[in-house]
Amino acid sequence: MTSRTPATARETLGSTFAGAAGGGSGDPDKACDSSGSRGSRGTEGPAGVTVDRHLAAAERHASLAADVRAGLTSQPRELPPKWFYDATGGLLFDRITRLPEYYPTRREHAVLTAHADEIAAACPAMTLVELGSGTSEKTRLLLDALRRLGTLRRFVPFDVDEATLLQAGEDILRAYPGVAVRAVVGDFERHLGSLPGSPAGASPASPSPGTRPAAGGDRRLIAFLGGTIGNLQPAARAAFLRAVRDQLRDGDALLLGADLVKDTGRLVAAYDDSAGVTAAFNRNVLSVINRELDADFDLRGFAHVAAWNAENSWIEMRLRSVRDQEVTVRALDLVARFEEGEQMRTEISAKFTLDGLRAELAASGLATSCQWTDPDRDFSVTLAVPD
């Protein structure tokens, strides 16, 4: 968060393809009214996945270095969760989503399966942007719905994890002929101003920077799924939502997936599975630091902890030092001494209520037009538009 924003690098990956291509309610079962008009059918998109890089290697390195220095020298120690996600972290997260204890992905999938057509009708977008997109698996439900409606032209996955992002982009490109895929490697807390279709971005008809289309011509649905919003602290959440709000024009919408408060046992189990996959995911941040900052964390020296913080309504993942130990981060010229039992926080995952979500959105200038949950009310999906 402390390093400067570099100039964007843009390139197109190799694969080619053929073809072309709104009422607020506390009742999650209530159907949304459709709003806006349908767009026209697709035109030919670009060949290959176009990539915008806001986090080139040097920038990513500087950002990681700044976060690790700040995190290891603060008390209590803390590391931001975005650094879990290198190629291994992405694969581990994908395994987590399939664990029996990890209900959020299945529940959100159920909500999107039931309501994707309503969502598409309420925001008949030409461009689907996905922040923190990961493998974009559930997103296919939205892509399918927008394609059925005939409005979809372009998919913009946006993630800090370049390996997973590019693989997902290529998979979507192959599966959706005629849909242009423009992947953005970036940090959604810093680089939202450069989204395609933003004042600083490009038009949907061309993958290159161009004139900004007339309002309504490039309707965008910005999806932020997986409960990732819960990884942000309240102040960062508010800043993020305001930044998203600033990107939305008339007709655009935000689709927000958020996990809901529930039985503590189920919450903790979702972050402490019996197979130890979440523990490996948690420790992966140490591997990232070892590799990228020439550190010597001994992964066996840190135990995985998942705990419910009732006061803040969030799960905390931490790494507990199992002995007194010293860690050297050579790239930072830093030595960190851990006492046995010391815990370093690596992630929060806030859990919400439907009312609380609407209030947070409203405070950031976003009006909830519809809210859905799965039948067990485990997970929510909210559609919000500029107030």
Q: What character string, x for contact with ligand SAM (CB under 6 A) and - otherwise, covers 93-122?
A: x---x-------x-----------------
**Number of helical (H) and strand (E) elements in the chain, helices listed first:** 9, 14
Q: How many residues bind ligand SAM (CB under 6 A)?
A: 19
Within residues 210-249, the interface with ligand SAM by CB under 6 A covers: 225-226, 228
Asked whether residue 347 is marked as a ligand-binding residue, the answer is yes
Q: Measured between alpha carbons, how far is 201 from 86 in angstroms, rounded to an integer?
A: 26
Nearest position to ligand SAM, beta carbon: 226
- Rounded CA-CA distance 137/280 in Å is 22
The gap between the terminal CA atoms of the chain, to the nearest Å, is 28
Should residue 159 be labelled a site residue for ligand SAM when binding is judged by CB under 6 A? yes
> Minimum distance between the CB of residue 190 and ligand SAM, rounded to whole angstroms?
8
Query: Is the CA virtual torsion 123, 129, 131, 135 positive or negative?
Result: positive
Q: Which stretch binds ligand SAM (CB under 6 A): 67-75, 109-117, 126-134, 282-290?
A: 126-134
- Per-residue mark of binding to ligand SAM, 332-351 (x: CB under 6 A): --------------------
Note whether 187 binds ligand SAM by CB under 6 A: yes
The answer to whether 9 and 53 have CB atoms below 8 angstroms apart is: yes
Tell me which H or E stretch contains 313.
Answer: none
Of the candidates 160, 173, 317, 336, which one interacts with ligand SAM according to CB under 6 A? 160
Dihedral angle sign, alpha carbons of residues 106, 99, 162, 287? positive
Helices (H), the chain: 57-73, 87-96, 103-122, 139-149, 162-175, 234-247, 264-270, 277-293, 354-363
- Cite the annotated binding site by residue number: 102, 132, 138, 159, 187-188, 231, 271, 347-349
Interacting residue ranges for ligand SAM, rule: CB under 6 A: 82, 85, 93, 97, 105, 132-134, 138, 159-161, 164, 187-189, 225-226, 228
* Residue numbering of the annotated binding site for S-adenosyl-L-methionine: 132, 138, 159, 187-188
